[in-house]
Structure 1
């Protein structure tokens, strides 16, 4: 049973967003949604019964003016969102995830993980970490790894916590959605390849991040991040033209009504343009692909409070709407 999101006066920034919706028990359909809470079935509006949101993104530059015209058309046959199910807005071909990308978050981790023989004050160690982070942002490269599209679920769907997950944690993140193929693009060119933005909660089982049997091999992102449903996505893809500055958005996650994460994307070490450019110099980014930008401070490990059955997570990012997911513990 899904937990429905709280109502809002304006669902997102700008004149329209993309979504994937369904009227149960019907099939999911690509939708143009307006901020007053109404939806238009793009299959009917554009005369293509096979159209999906991924199909729209595959030819984003051609579809964008048509979408703007539909959003401005007062006679378009829109229906209220009430009674419609919100799915993940897109099923990407590839998912790229950034780690250790928020300055304050990494500084907090540095201070928390004190060596046994380090007797310096927290202020001294925090200043040291700040210098390291500033140098990293200026001179180093982002840390990016690959996720699985099969971990993606809808913004209102229940999240099943696997019985083997000992320390499931939340990580609310800004996600960039690619709209033009990108390969070896510069930082200056990168944002021109972004169609829009959405919300991702990149859940992680902290207990399996590092291999216990082979410590030298390092991190195990397959095990720790890619269980089915571990990436609630959406609800909307808001066009990039509606987001004035992706580096000035508020990322907020509440657990059972209590604020746990509340940070600006300004705190990112590597912004969206640098991340997209960096990924494109190794991989060929395709329309619909996701580039997750990392988690700000305030994860469960910081609070000493991890996810358990019955928890409700409310996640929101400025201009991108909100998602609400309930945790269900899998029986052992």
Structure 2
């Protein structure tokens, strides 16, 4: 298993993003090989995987981490099956723990207004970034990798081409977005257009020469951890609940859906792969949709009855 996993990682390096490869490498070298490396590939069975899961949980690893470890192992074994080295994937139907469903914290529109008003009043250098994140639902990495050539203010749209990530939380790299559906146009409101215009003026005032919309003074990308620290500082100063920067995306989704924006349009704006993804994540916010559905049934039947009566 140790030899096979090492070869598998080497081959996967050709197709994986640097961040994903770093995660796979850590899982393989720090967890899978120490636990399963001495077992022959063709001898690995479901009991080995079940014992590995039990040992990881007993060592205090969280359910989500354990599921990711087993998913990595399953991916490696799946490749062995495709190469006809195995007949069965011992990790495919492993007894995995179910992580607790995370309740996403979310600001209200009042919280958002309070926060943005504080950023504006203090002339914070990241104020425009947070306005764009809230006003578009972009992921943090997508906003930090945004290039001016992809922002079209006259047409009120931007195009997502890149995302900024940290490899092992240290080295920032620019890669393609999370999914194919993430490569897409995003509309811009007047508020967001104004934020971009302020950002352009701010860069011009500091003689900043960079292709990036949001950058350090020397034109280098903003580091995600620096943005997070600044965001938490501003949350405390503004007196609003402390959340993650990524939760601003949830805020954007919540405001859209709670304002009865059609789910299809909200899903398109968030660039989810399918509308079912939007429903799975935010379905609890749309009781109005369920009411509209049954009202539509009643309306159709009532209309048919009126036609019959008139005849």
Tell me the TM-score normalized by structure 2: 0.26
| Greater gyration radius | 2
- Greater strand proportion: 1
| Higher-RCO chain (CA-CA 8 Å, sequence separation at least 6) | 1
- Greater helix proportion: 2
